[in-house]
Chains A and B, each alone.
Chain A
């Protein structure tokens, strides 16, 4: 038996597990009121800004 087989089984199992988790939580249970949606939108903007700053820092460090 080649080593590729058990390795691919592990990967397939992991992917299936992640898919099962995604299916289980596909529908957020919390009621998405206006305030909740605004809070989540602000969070996305905040994180995008932060990631942007991190990328900027990385690029400036690499360029030096």
Chain B
């Protein structure tokens, strides 16, 4: 009897903890899963197709890297109650503030275009014309934000995050050999030696793991959610769970394309889905649905990152808890970015490939600045109090930031000068 009551007590204790987590869960999971956006899915699909399972270990390492960077935004947002854009203005003055805000606006808009490219190419597989996809997405995103509550927006977005896990059953449909995955994927190796093309793929994977909009989005999201200092452990846990999911999705995409394509060149995830459908119909359809969902999640988060940033700096009402009448500029920027990016994809002959490449180049102008500011702000004892970076935080985060800056810069430059590393 005593054993049963103790077990029941433990069960109640854990179920309460899970219930509490489900209430708190949000920004960390959303940002991490949205990190696997349309561009990310293409990168993972191409990596698996080219190198099969051999780079799985590298993706697994990137999980903690993403966690450590995003965890800092949780602390900064919860302590200062300010988004990253406002924190940069406040901490470093107007020069760096405007630089970050304008750069973020350009980069977010270009990335939004790539999300629409992914979504239209995914639904084109099912015969849906581009204009219907763009219109449908804009209407869907209006429904998501128009309810006037952060909580509802977050839970709807979490449902889309759950759909992103569609790649996991998709991987089982192509019947991969678990022994091959373990033997080739979990032991660090560089297939064919360390050469220029492989280095380009490694950098592309890093580039998709940490994006500037993620830093701005999660910090603003933490503030809009109203997280307090006492919620930081839950915010960390949320980010940790999100980092596991982001790696899991990436790993399963690589397993799908690695199992089917064996060293083939794949240019984008839409093409991968079409090729997959020739041999594994449902796995291909799952890939296309996942690509659409990834683009949608990316679009939701990226357009919000811009709206939040502008609202913070210009002093406009900028919360998802506000109705349209209360925060007209916040929603105007959200829809302006969304609709204009969608329309670009519909223009016949628009330079979409150039835009996709340009995203990487613009990202390296903002990412180092955002990361350096993050580290400096987290070291401000006056603001952060007990939540200031410790020495070990600085060693870990500083090393990660230095490596990300170096590799993402090389990636951006090699996008500009493709023959440089070959």
Task: Mark A residues whose CB is within 8 Å of B.
Answer: 17, 21-22, 24-31, 36, 39-40, 43, 46-47, 50-51, 53-54, 57
Contact = CB atoms under 8 A, between A and B. Distances in A.
Interface stretch (B12-20, B86-94, B218-226): B86-94
Contacts of A30: 91-92, 376-377, 380
Contacts of B96: 40
- Please provide the 8 A-B residue pairs with the shortest distance between their CB atoms, ordered closest to farther: A30-B91, A28-B93, A25-B89, A22-B94, A57-B416, A28-B92, A25-B94, A29-B90
A22 B93 CA distance: 8
A47 B369 contact: yes
Contacts of A39: 372, 376
B361 A54 contact: yes
A29 B314 contact: no
> Residue among A25, A28, A53, A54 with the most chain B CB within 10 A?
A25
A13 B96 CA distance: 23
Interface in B17-54: none
Nearest to B97: A25
A26 to B, nearest CB: 7
Given A25-B97, A50-B364, A43 B372 contact: yes
Nearest to A17: B314
A30 B377 CA distance: 8
A39 B91 CA distance: 14
A27 B92 CA distance: 8
The size class of the interface chain B forms with chain A is 20 to 34
B4 interface: no
A46 B371 CA distance: 14
A26 B92 contact: no
> Which of B89, B94, B313, B417 has its CB near the most chain A CB atoms (within 10 A)?
B94
B138 interface: no
Contacts of B413: 53
Contacts of B364: 50
Contacts of A53: 413, 416
B368 interface: yes
Contacts of A54: 361, 416
